[in-house]
A = this chain, B = another copy of it.
Amino acid sequence: MTLISENIETDTRERILVVAERLFRQIGYQKTTVADIAKELRMSPANVYRFFDSKKAIHEGVARGLMGEVEIEAQRIADRAGPAAPRLRELMTTIHRMNSERYVGDSKMHEMVEIAMEEDWGVCVAHMELITRTIGNVIAQGAAAGEFEVADLQVAALCSCSAMIKFFHPQMIAQTANKPGPSIDQMIDFILASLSPRAKGAVRK
């Protein structure tokens, strides 16, 4: 294919996902048909099916797009120079804010998240692993600079992410929104304290 037709293919795929996401948010995943999406784009359903095997594949593409936006922002913060502790705070706060904006707030979004967790579970797990690795990179930077003292980087990254589930997981964000609990800054303080150098003679993990 020539460069121009490759771009048109990519653009069309993107346009389908943009329209699909809007319709899923407005009328819900179950009620949206491939014909609805095609009609919005003034193309035939057959043309949509050239790019996606099924409605499920479209949903997976929308989920991948939303998660990709969070991953790009996370990577940007991890790649910056400067002390690790403030960047870890910014990274975690950003993930919380972006997940809240994308996935929490109305029943249509709840429906999208539930479907993603049931049908696109591979995509969700890959995303969580990438976020954990990004957080792990910042922790490694902090350990190298002496800001953090960490026996096992992989375990520290897994525990830090697990400790933030209430602020990262769309279903937990929604459930615990107006319930008593620590603020996100208090939780991040708690995690930073765990990563910080120990007093001599204190219990080592």
Binding site for B on A (CB under 8 A): 85, 117, 125, 129, 147, 149, 155-156, 158-160, 162-163, 165-166, 169, 171-172, 175, 179-182, 186-187, 189-194, 196-200, 202-203, 205
Counted per complex, copies of this chain come to 2
Interface centre among A171, A189, A191, A193 (most CB of B within 10 A): A193
CA distance A192 to B204 in the complex (A): 9
By secondary structure, the A interface counts as: helix
Q: How far is the CB of A75 from chain B (nearest CB, A)?
A: 20
Q: Which of B175, B189, B203 contacts A205 (CB 8 A)?
A: B189
A/B interface sample: 24 pairs, CB < 8 A: A155-B186, A155-B190, A158-B180, A158-B186, A159-B182, A159-B187, A159-B190, A162-B163, A162-B182, A163-B190, A165-B166, A169-B172, A171-B171, A192-B203, A193-B194, A193-B203, A193-B205, A196-B202, A196-B203, A197-B198, A197-B202, A198-B198, A198-B199, A199-B199
Q: Which residues of B contact A181 (CB under 8 A)?
A: 158, 162
